């Protein structure tokens, strides 16, 4: 297995979940605009907190992957 691949995969999973939190924020905004339901404050605070809580470990995992030797853009002409 390529070094750092597990940490890179975990970073991707955390990023996907973080942007899912932003999608929740977009859904709350859409509900407010279309239906007049006023849930924006609680949802926006929770989504923003979730986004940043997930974004920080994603960056740490990516850093660990880079330290362990994972290359996000390998050169296809390079031979081992």
Which tens digits make up the pLDDT trace of 27-67? 877 877 888 777 667 777 788 788 888 889 999 998 998 89
Is residue 51 a contact partner of residue 22, using CB atoms and an 8 Å limit? yes
Any domain includes 49: yes
CB atoms within 10 A of CB 24: 16
Per-residue confidence (pLDDT) for residue 79, from 0 to 100: 62
Q: How far apart are CA 26 and CA 32, in angstroms?
A: 10
Any domain includes 48: yes
Q: How many domains does the chain have?
A: 1
- The domain of 17 spans 5-67
**Predicted confidence (pLDDT) per residue in 5-28, tens digit:** 888 899 999 999 988 888 888 887
pLDDT for residue 80 is more than 70: no
Any domain includes 19: yes
Per-residue confidence (pLDDT) for residue 29, from 0 to 100: 79
């Amino acid at each position: 297995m390529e070094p750092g691949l597990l940490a890179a995969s975990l970073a991707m999973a955390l990023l996907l979940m973080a942007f899912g939190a932003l999608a929740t924020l977009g859904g709350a905004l859409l509900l407010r605009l279309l239906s007049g339901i006023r849930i924006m404050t609680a949802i926006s605070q929770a989504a923003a907190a979730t986004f940043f809580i997930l974004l920080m470990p994603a960056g740490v995992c990516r850093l660990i992957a880079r330290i362990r030797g994972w290359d996000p853009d390998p050169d296809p002409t390079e031979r081992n």
